[in-house]
Amino acid sequence: MKALDELTFDNRFARLGDAFSTHVLPEPLDEPRLVVASNAAMALLDLDPAVADTPVFAELFSGHKLWAEAEPRAMVYSGHQFGGYSPQLGDGRGLLLGEVYNAAGEHWDLHLKGAGMTPYSRMGDGRAVLRSSIREFLASEALHALGIPSSRALCVIGSSTPVWREKQERGAMVLRLAPSHVRFGHFEYFYYTKKPEQQAELAEHVLNLHYPECREQPEPYLAMFREIVERNAEMIAKWQAYGFCHGVMNTDNMSILGITFDFGPFAFLDDFDAHFICNHSDHEGRYSFSNQVPIGQWNLSALAQALTPFISVDALKEALGLYLPLYQAHYLDLMRRRLGLTTAEDDDQKLVERLLKLMQNSGVDYTLFFRRLGDESAALAVAKLRDDFVDLAGFDAWAELYTARVARDGDDTEEQRRGRMHAVNPLYILRNYLAQNAIAAAESGDYSEVRRLHEVLSKPFEEQAGMEQYAQRPPDWGKHLEISCSS
Ligand code: AMP
Ligand code: MG
């Protein structure tokens, strides 16, 4: 276990130099205070969890103090936003403080979001508000606990600094951890600004540090792109299987590592709705729940375009062709597991589709349905769930197919099947209204609800005593909350 001053830095991205990032010092927030910290994320840095309660912790992650070895940098990138190319983006309010390596030899970027203005702030103030910082913190740690690849969050530090959005709010900072902060948009930036040398340097950097196994392949860059395609297919399959809607899948928000990145107006589905749009500025539904699948491919094509100096167009197209079949295979595998199935049959895809259609038509709670399906024998579970459906004949027909399918599946015991299902079907997810309750309390100075919610979501598959209120459908006020895009 380390103390805060014992972290070991190795700032590999900063060493790429000024063509890639700009030195900027964080601008401190007034009266910093710890809102919430993640012990699991602290462990990634070998930090003793007790350090979160020391004053220096809040000072370090609110811009008041800095390690001597840190080299805070704002990264430059660009990207496609809602389908259109934005030539100049970059860290407008976040800083890569440095890279820390832990005892296991893993490197973690320390990225402080809300750290003030940078050369890439455009019209923005460089700040992040408490509300959005709490949402990013809760989401990254909750996704990780569900087994969905994601950037992580060490802590949220609140403050008394006023920040103007639709109304006056308070500034906060969230400390994000990820093995890399390189986005698709980094490659696009050097491609569209016609800087082939820097682009090659960036490609080498990512290949050496994050895809070293691809070095062994005859075409390392192509192998790396294929791996990125595969990771994205798997990540998006998990989003779809667990009902996660990212909301802003612009290429500047897509990590080169295939991890969920840059949380904005995201949401988990309450009622199943394939057409759900969580970002209320997304008028055309470009990033609606079901569109995430084709948009994943669109984004990979945008990255492929930026990689044409290194890889032939035919090879890129072939690699892109892997995306959909891989996505479908991962998705079906996850859905089979959610249904408690261990074997594969040709009609399983149809079984899933029929169920989702029924859920869609009846507004059935996506998470609780699967959880309850694993509570009892298949026959008993469907009998109890039947009342949630409007099309009873439709549901009965599905239930008959399902119970017969379960009976054919394997020869494990009823109890084993239920255990398997509960291990993949969460009881607790980050529902928007739960986040909203925690935010409202935090905005009035009470951080206990954020901390409790974080705690509950860190064990989403485990029924926790006294936490029934976190495993409920939203109350009327909490359905279809409009989450502001301003953050
Ligand atoms: P986002 O939609 O949060 O991914 O942000 C898109 C771009 O806008 C990124 O380059 C951000 O750094 C920048 N940005 C977002 N909010 C702010 C802000 N309050 N101040 C400065 N830049 C911002
Ligand atoms: Mg972003």
Residue nearest to atom 12 of ligand 1 (CA): 92
Mean pLDDT to the nearest integer, 317-345: 98
Mean pLDDT to the nearest integer, 340-345: 97
Q: How far is the CA of 320 from the centre of ligand 2 (A)?
A: 24
Q: Residue 156: beta bridge partners?
A: 36, 174
- Comparing C-alpha atoms, which of 198, 175, 59, 204 is closest to residue 109? 175
As a whole number of angstroms, the distance between CA 276 and CA 289 comes to: 5
Query: What are the φ/ψ torsions at residue 196 (nearest 5 degrees)?
Result: -60, -35
Do residues 62 and 28 lie in contact, with contact meaning Cβ atoms separated by under 8 Å? yes
Of the pLDDT bands very low, low, confident and very high (cuts 50, 70, 90), residue 176 is: very high
Rg, the chain, Cα only? 23
pLDDT in tens, 214-229: 999 999 999 999 999 9
pLDDT computed for residue 428 by the predictor: 98
Name the residue of 121, 181, 246 whose CB sits within 8 Å of the most ligand 1 atoms, as the mutation to test its pocket.
Answer: 121
Q: How far is the CA of 120 from the centre of ligand 1 (A)?
A: 8
Name the residue of 76, 93, 183 whose CB sits within 8 Å of the most ligand 1 atoms, as the mutation to test its pocket.
Answer: 93
Measured from CB, residues less than 6 Å from any atom of ligand 1 are: 89-93, 120-121, 124-127, 248, 253, 262, 264
Query: What are the φ/ψ torsions at residue 372 (nearest 5 degrees)?
Result: -70, -25
Of the pLDDT bands very low, low, confident and very high (cuts 50, 70, 90), residue 484 is: confident
Mean pLDDT to the nearest integer, 185-212: 98
Mean pLDDT score across all residues of the chain: 97
As a whole number of angstroms, the distance between CA 384 and CA 194 comes to: 61
Do residues 139 and 113 lie in contact, with contact meaning Cβ atoms separated by under 8 Å? no
Ligand 1 atom at minimal distance to the Cα of residue 486: 16
Using the structure block, give the residue that is written with the tokens 């394997």: 410
Mean pLDDT to the nearest integer, 324-346: 98
Q: How far is the CA of 35 from the centre of ligand 2 (A)?
A: 23
Give the number of the ligand closest to the Cα of residue 254: 2
Give the number of the ligand closest to the Cα of residue 181: 2
Name the residue of 29, 75, 89, 261 whose CB sits within 8 Å of the most ligand 1 atoms, as the mutation to test its pocket.
Answer: 89
Do residues 299 and 185 lie in contact, with contact meaning Cβ atoms separated by under 8 Å? no
pLDDT of 57 over the 80 cut: yes
Residue nearest to atom 13 of ligand 1 (CA): 92
Mean pLDDT to the nearest integer, 136-151: 98
Using the structure block, give the residue that is written with the tokens 């409790």: 452
What are the distances in angstroms from CA 28 to CA 69, 268, 274?
A: 18, 33, 42
pLDDT in tens, 256-269: 999 999 999 999 99
CA angle 351, 424, 328 (to 5 degrees): 45
pLDDT computed for residue 137 by the predictor: 98
Q: How far is the CA of 253 from the centre of ligand 2 (A)?
A: 5
pLDDT of 480 over the 90 cut: no
Per the model's pLDDT, the better-predicted residue between 411 and 170 turns out to be 170
Do residues 297 and 304 lie in contact, with contact meaning Cβ atoms separated by under 8 Å? no
Residue nearest to atom 6 of ligand 1 (CA): 89
Q: How far is the CA of 202 from the centre of ligand 2 (A)?
A: 19
Please tell me what DSSP assigns to residue 477. G
pLDDT of 252 over the 80 cut: yes
Residue 252 bears catalytic tag: yes
Using the structure block, give the residue that is written with the tokens 């492929």: 304
Give the number of the ligand closest to the Cα of residue 184: 2
pLDDT computed for residue 483 by the predictor: 81
The residue type found at 189 is Y
What are the distances in angstroms from CA 286 to CA 104, 131, 258, 480?
A: 41, 25, 20, 18
Catalytic residue among 91, 252, 262, 282: 252
pLDDT in tens, 69-120: 999 999 999 999 999 999 999 999 999 999 999 999 999 999 999 999 999 9
Mean pLDDT to the nearest integer, 246-264: 98
Using the structure block, give the residue that is written with the tokens 């030539």: 87
Tell me the percentage of the chain whose pLDDT exceeds 70.
100
Residue nearest to atom 15 of ligand 1 (CA): 92
Provide the whole-model pTM.
Answer: 0.98
3-class secondary structure, 419? helix
pLDDT in tens, 354-364: 999 999 999 99
